Amino acid sequence: MRPRRPEPQVYSIDYDGRRFSPVPADAGPPTIAHYHQDQELVWAEFGGGEVLLGSLTGTTAADGELRFAYCMVRAGGEVVTGICRSMPEVLPDGRIRLTEYWRRFGAGSSSGISTLEELPPEPESPLRNGR
C-alpha cells in the first residue's frame, strides 16, 4: 500500500488593496506595489525609487503561489520585462511576506530571489469639508 500524499495547504489570501515593498529597503524612496485581485486574477502597479512605472499581471493558485509577468521602466529609461513566481508567508503580525523567484529577459537577462513585505494600511485622511 502506497503512503498517502499530504493534502496541499490552501491559502485564502485576498491581495486586493494590499501594498508591498522590497525588504530590505534601499536608501531613498521605496518602490511600492499596489495589488488588486478578482478571483484568481492578480495584478499590480508599482513605482518609486529606481522604478518610474511598473506593472504585473498573473494568477494565484490554490496553494497560494502567485505566477505573473512583469514590465517596468527604470529611472535611466531601461525597459525591463520578466516572469516571477511568488510564495506567500503570513507573518506573526498578520502581514504577508512574498518570496519572489524571478527571471528577467533581454540584454540584461538575469534571475534571482527577492523578498517583499506588506506595508501597514494607509491611514484614512479626514474629510476637510471643502477646505
Spatial distance between the Cα atoms of 39 and 30, rounded to a whole number of angstroms:
29
Give the residue extent of every domain in the chain. 19-118
Contacts of 19 (CB under 8 A, 6+ apart): 32, 33, 34, 35, 118, 119, 122
**Per-position pLDDT tens, the chain of length 131:** 666 655 554 557 999 999 999 998 667 789 999 999 999 999 999 999 999 999 999 999 988 899 999 999 999 999 999 999 999 999 999 999 999 999 999 888 999 999 999 998 877 656 655 55
Q: Give pLDDT, residue 6.
A: 53
The fold of 19-118 is Lipocalin (2.40.128)
| Rounded Cα–Cα distance for residues 120 and 6 (Å) | 34
Please tell me the chain's helix, strand, coil percentages from 3-state DSSP, rounded to the nearest 5: 0, 55, 45
